[in-house]
Amino acid sequence: MSTYIVNPVEVRMKESAKGSIYQSIVAMGIRARQINDQIKIQLTARMENVETDADESEGPNYDKLAISREFDVLPKPIFIAMKEVMDDQLNVRMNDEK
């Protein structure tokens, strides 16, 4: 069985306008999904532009490896979303359903 090491992130969470920390967490999760989708679209677009040889089985495609390494360096989408919340760049609007 593998051992996973998780580094906890100590964060002082901001509450939403109604005082609920859970709404802030949900908003960060939704924003992280949006960021992940944007990154995936960018990666797919860049990979489509790379010319592929007919004989890909002979060796690795170094252009694709270079592009994937660029995207590996990017921070995780949840950390980007957390930074947006902490910097007040993320506005959360919830519909009140009664």
For residue 32, the model assigns a pLDDT of: 95
What are the tokens at 43?
Answer: 């990666």
pTM of the model: 0.70
Domain segments of the chain as ranges: 21-49+61-86
Give the count of alpha carbons within 13 A of 88, CB side only.
1
For residue 66, the model assigns a pLDDT of: 86
For residue 13, the model assigns a pLDDT of: 62
For residue 25, the model assigns a pLDDT of: 84
For residue 7, the model assigns a pLDDT of: 56
Alpha helices in 1-98 (DSSP H): 21-49, 62-72, 77-86
What are the tokens at 90?
Answer: 């993320």
Low-confidence stretches of the chain (pLDDT beneath 50)? 1, 4
| CB count in 10 Å sphere of residue 29 | 13
Whole-number Å distance between alpha carbons of 56 and 94 = 49
Whole-number Å distance between alpha carbons of 74 and 77 = 9
For residue 97, the model assigns a pLDDT of: 60
